[in-house]
Structure 1
Amino acid sequence: MDQLNNVEKIFTIIDNTATILKEELSCSYLEAIAETGENIFQNAILQEEVSELSKKRLEKEYNSIQFDRFSVEEIRKAFQLSVLKGMKEATQPNHQMTPDAVAIFMSYLVGKFTEGINGFSILDPAVGTGNLLTTILNQNQAKISSSHGVDVDDLLIKLAYVSANLQQHSIQFFNQDSLQPLFVDPVDVVVCDLPVGYYPDDIRASSYELKAKKGHSYAHHLFIEQSMNHTKAGGYMLFLIPNQLFNSDQAAELNAFIKENGIIQGLIQLPLSLFKDEKAAKSILIIQKKGDNVRIPKQALLVDLPKFSNKAAMSGIIQRIDGWFKTEKQSTH
């Protein structure tokens, strides 16, 4: 129970102070979360326009708990809860967060695929509020040497930056269109909850192999190509993809591109119960970029996940996945 209580304690402070700042600064709740997170991190009230009375109220809230007493996961979860609250108020389709259970499961997969690799670099080219990336960092902290996040939305990346600071992660963030040239060297692992839809910049899209023959190109296809370009030979890409990815009118080109440059290591279908609408259902696609010692698995890891709440079924699936890794690792030696 304690952890839940701690998450609730931190959430209450963020929520109360963000509500005060929202009124004082006449801004949205999401913007106020970024402001209050910065105050907590800097241990100061940075907004000059805040009235003396509100300053006192804020100080009282901030002083009521000591943030360094909490675990990074407790801080991440509390921050995520406040962001989810803010997103409900301002529903924008691109303001979606990777569900917690999915982020934790992807962290587990990153850990398994990078077993034996010391100090790997990681990139999320659609980092959003940073929830997926910081979840992976929290679970694989000792193994990650450098991490990078890119997002075109300046509010989302500000929230990601504040969240990373509160969790004391050193992540390099870039506020830019991820399909423009990136200032990130190729990494060992790319993770991405793919933004699905059309990419409006046809001129930029024309430099990609996966551009549409006519009309706008699919952003999610271009993200896969951009990720491939920014992954080292032998490195891994873990994408959260729409289940319909390989059924679209441009699926043949996508398939050919993946086949030419990488090897599909696995495809894991997420439980349909996670999604309001079956059409919005997603899977995790794992691709390894071709390289000298990269071999095709005897059998790709193909799994249909049960509900995350079904502990017994999940435990069986985890055993099966662990078994797959053992078999594959043995056959590489």
Structure 2
Amino acid sequence: MFETIEKAVKQLQAAQNKLVETLDMAAIEALVIVFELMLGQDDDEWATLSATNQASILADIQAADFDGMTPELKRQVLQLLLVATMREDGLQANYQVTPDAIGMWVGFVVEQFVAEGEPVKVTDLTVGSGNLLATVAQVLGQQKNEMTASGVENDDTMLTIASGMAALLGLDWQLTLADAVADQPAVNQDVVIADLPVGYYPSTVPTDFTTQADEGMTYVHHLLIEQAIKALRPGGLAALIVPANLFESEQAANILKYLQGSDVFFQALLQFPEKLFTNEKAAKAILVLQRAGGDAVQATPVMLARTPELTNVAENKNFVSEITAWMTANSLRHA
């Protein structure tokens, strides 16, 4: 399996690198063309290449044997390609791919919440490259859920990448180029996921946000937490990747006040091992929230925990059992 993935990644990177060199473009732009070629689509810049260069690049893509892979192997290949591309172009942290070590835990929480075989509406407020949404789609697909998926992104290049990923994985997503704070991206969703960007919201905050800072600029991840709840149906679940120090910043009082309101239940905060992050300030956690209404109840106690090291199989098995039992006891598990 690993040999198959490695071969595919190397071949597709070879095609990508040839495009970078011959067309003098960024790696992310070259990856867009690689995706288009894999999907049999036309591209104006590709048409300017010589027949010899085109044949060489197409030979690399064909040698990857991508079409012959399982959906899971395809997703892993695309994820590795994206990670390498982000590193090559030196893109900022908010554009980085959500790693499986985090995304699979989001998928697990969502999978437990959604009844097996039931249709489910899922939206990603900050879809980025699409890897997190693809991870959740893969997990739900294993339990035969018919998933209606949508995503919002404010960067057109990243949205193009996400669209390409969905097409290459045979997934039908409704993707929108928009500012997820200024524009309500979806309503009445069963599940909202997002790997939230960290930083200040650069525009004027709409007046109906209670998480808005009293003075100065507001953290965008605070606003998107509130927007996630607005996008849910009553009783719907949000699994959001947030900074591990969410409740320690200078604006922590604002988000805490919001989470104590009548519209939302703060159900869990799952921290990740520090070793997972090269920089302590970049550490993340999963914030699990539920919109009030429906059959939702406030979990008692709130789950505050740290996931085990990836290599500790026994501890991970125990942790899964612990979360499953907690979700069952608090009417959060419907699998």
> How far off is 1:92 after superposition?
2.5
Alignment of 1:228-239 (within 5 A): 228-239=229-240
The residue number in structure 1 matching 2:328 is 326
- In 1, Cα distance between equivalents of 2:222 and 2:103: 21
| Residues 1:52 and 2:48 aligned together | no
Query: Deviation digits for residues 294-328 of structure 1, max 9, x if unmatched?
Result: 11223222221121121121112112122223333
Which shifted more, 9-18 or 131-140?
9-18
Which shifted more, 297-306 or 258-267?
297-306
- In 2, Cα distance between equivalents of 1:106 and 1:306: 15
Q: Cα 1:165–1:116, aligned 2, differ >3 Å: closer, same or farther?
A: closer
Amino acid at match of 1:273: K
Correspondent of 1:167 among 169, 188, 200: 169
Correspondent of 2:191 among 186, 189, 192: 189
SS of the equivalent of 1:182 reads coil
SS of the equivalent of 2:239 reads strand
Amino acid at match of 1:174: T
> How far off is 1:13 after superposition?
2.4
Amino acid at match of 2:98: T
Which shifted more, 233-242 or 141-150?
141-150
| Residues 1:201 and 2:211 aligned together | no
- In 2, Cα distance between equivalents of 1:44 and 1:153: 22
Query: Deviation digits for residues 220-256 of structure 1, max 9, x if unmatched?
Result: 1110111111111100001111121112232222122
- In 2, Cα distance between equivalents of 1:182 and 1:295: 25
- In 2, Cα distance between equivalents of 1:244 and 1:287: 17
Query: Deviation digits for residues 269-304 of structure 1, max 9, x if unmatched?
Result: 111111112222221110010003211223222221
The residue number in structure 2 matching 1:69 is 68
- In 2, Cα distance between equivalents of 1:127 and 1:189: 14
Q: Cα 1:38–1:231, aligned 2, differ >3 Å: closer, same or farther?
A: same
TM-score (norm 2): 0.92
Q: Cα 1:291–1:70, aligned 2, differ >3 Å: closer, same or farther?
A: same
> How far off is 1:74 after superposition?
0.9
> How far off is 1:205 after superposition?
4.0
> How far off is 1:200 after superposition?
1.0
- In 2, Cα distance between equivalents of 1:190 and 1:330: 15
Amino acid at match of 1:293: D
The residue number in structure 2 matching 1:255 is 256
SS of the equivalent of 1:249 reads coil
Amino acid at match of 1:241: V
Amino acid at match of 1:129: S
Query: Deviation digits for residues 60-92 of structure 1, max 9, x if unmatched?
Result: 223335433211111111111111111112223
Aligned residues: 329
- In 2, Cα distance between equivalents of 1:116 and 1:252: 38
Alignment of 1:1-333 (within 5 A): 3-42=1-40, 47-93=46-92, 94-115=94-115, 118-141=118-141, 142-202=144-204, 204-260=205-261, 261-329=263-331
SS of the equivalent of 2:287 reads strand
For structure 1, which runs of at least 5 residues remain unmatched after alignment?
none
- In 1, Cα distance between equivalents of 2:332 and 2:220: 38
Q: Contact (CA 8 Å) 1:187, 1:231: kept in 2 or not?
A: yes
Query: Deviation digits for residues 133-178 of structure 1, max 9, x if unmatched?
Result: 1011011123143111111112211111111111011011112221
Q: Cα 1:33–1:309, aligned 2, differ >3 Å: closer, same or farther?
A: same
For structure 2, which runs of at least 5 residues remain unmatched after alignment?
none
Amino acid at match of 2:297: R
Which shifted more, 81-90 or 179-188?
179-188
Amino acid at match of 2:292: K
Q: Contact (CA 8 Å) 1:150, 1:176: kept in 2 or not?
A: yes
Q: Contact (CA 8 Å) 1:164, 1:170: kept in 2 or not?
A: yes
Amino acid at match of 1:197: G
- In 1, Cα distance between equivalents of 2:259 and 2:146: 26
Amino acid at match of 2:226: E
SS of the equivalent of 1:208 reads coil
Q: Cα 1:121–1:248, aligned 2, differ >3 Å: closer, same or farther?
A: same
TM-score (norm 1): 0.92
Amino acid at match of 1:96: Q
Q: Say what the alpha-carbon RMSD is for the aligned residues.
A: 2.1
Q: Cα 1:216–1:329, aligned 2, differ >3 Å: closer, same or farther?
A: closer
Q: Contact (CA 8 Å) 1:210, 1:225: kept in 2 or not?
A: yes
Amino acid at match of 2:81: S
Percent sequence identity is 28
